[in-house]
């Protein structure tokens, strides 16, 4: 907070959240402490980098004025986010009824007839996404309540994961056992079918063998009858 006989300026530092390739803005608040019109003008050491709205203006007696400062998007970040840019706020008494269009540079020249005040404000960069602060330990050395809750939640999640893994293992073992039993049953059925097939082959072979022998016996009998008949005729 900067204060003089004419105006009160807040804050004393212009803090910009810094993020590459993004604009950033902050504001300053001017309060007229007198019963006179006060003209002001804002200057910077790096005018191409900042846009000030309004950069000149009039604060009515006992009135206030907000000034917005916008930093253009930056392609590079300074080392350790240290900035050397500064702003200068000039204020001077002005004739009653004056407007911003009537303000000239000569109004801020110091002389015996006019009171002119100057305030310097430095620029501070703040990381746009600052790291979360490390929680302090309790007086008894135990971890903070947030950490305890986090550990409990993590432990619960791990337990649920393990239980799920055990359930999946049990299902996998049950499936493997079922497949093993089905495989053994299929092997047994296959062996039984092979045995029945062998028996059928042997039966067919036996039947074929018996049929040929009977045919020979009949054939021999017929031949014997024919031979007997021929012998009798001769």
Domain residues for the domain of 118 are: 2-127
Question: What is d(CA 94, CA 145) in angstroms, rounded to the nearest whole number?
Answer: 59
Burial of 67 (0-12, 13-18, 19+ CB in 10 A): buried
- Can you give the pLDDT at residue 206? 74
Total-model pTM:
0.54
SS3 call for 14: strand
Considering only CA atoms, which of 119, 121, 49 is closest in space to residue 91? Answer: 119
Task: Calculate the CA dihedral of residues 147, 148, 150, 153 and round it to 10 degrees.
Answer: 170
Is residue 99 included in any domain, yes or no? yes
Is residue 140 included in any domain, yes or no? no
Is residue 201 included in any domain, yes or no? no
Considering only CA atoms, which of 107, 87, 120 is closest in space to residue 37? Answer: 107
DSSP state of 122: E
Is residue 34 included in any domain, yes or no? yes
> What is the tally of structural domains in the chain?
1
The Cα-based distances of 70 to 23, 40, 47, 147, 156 in angstroms read 7, 18, 11, 39, 48
Is residue 64 included in any domain, yes or no? yes
Q: Extract the tokens encoding 73.
A: 């998007």
- Can you give the pLDDT at residue 188? 78
Is residue 110 included in any domain, yes or no? yes
234 residues of the chain, pLDDT tens digit each: 567 899 999 999 999 999 999 999 999 999 999 999 999 999 999 999 999 999 999 999 999 999 999 999 999 999 999 999 999 999 999 999 999 999 999 999 987 777 899 999 999 999 987 655 555 554 445 555 555 556 556 666 666 766 666 666 777 777 787 878 887 777 877 777 778 777 877 777 777 665 555 666 666 677 767 766 665 655
Is residue 135 included in any domain, yes or no? no
CATH code for the domain in which residue 82 is found? 2.60.40.10
Question: What is d(CA 28, CA 14) in angstroms, rounded to the nearest whole number?
Answer: 8
Is residue 206 included in any domain, yes or no? no
- Can you give the pLDDT at residue 138? 47
């Amino acid at each position: 907070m900067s204060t003089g006989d004419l105006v009160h300026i807040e804050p004393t530092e212009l803090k910009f959240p810094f993020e590459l390739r993004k604009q950033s803005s902050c504001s300053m608040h001017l309060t007229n402490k007198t019963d006179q019109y006060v003209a002001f003008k804002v200057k910077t050491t790096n005018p191409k980098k900042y846009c000030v709205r309004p950069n000149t203006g009039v604060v009515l007696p006992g009135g206030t004025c907000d000034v917005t400062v916008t930093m253009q998007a930056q392609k590079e970040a300074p080392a350790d986010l240290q900035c050397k840019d500064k702003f200068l706020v000039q204020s001077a008494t002005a004739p009653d009824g004056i407007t911003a269009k009537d303000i000239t540079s000569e109004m801020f020249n110091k002389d015996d007839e006019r009171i002119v005040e100057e305030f310097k404000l430095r620029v501070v960069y703040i990381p746009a996404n600052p790291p979360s602060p490390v929680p302090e330990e309790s007086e008894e050395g135990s971890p903070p309540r947030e950490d305890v809750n986090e550990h409990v939640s993590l432990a619960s999640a791990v337990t649920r994961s393990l239980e799920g893994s055990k359930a999946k293992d049990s299902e996998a073992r049950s499936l493997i056992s079922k497949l093993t039993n089905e495989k053994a049953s299929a092997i047994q059925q296959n062996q039984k079918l092979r045995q029945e097939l062998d028996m059928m082959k042997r039966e067919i072979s036996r039947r074929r063998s018996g049929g040929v022998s009977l045919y020979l016996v009949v054939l021999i009998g017929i031949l014997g009858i024919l031979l007997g008949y021929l012998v009798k005729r001769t």
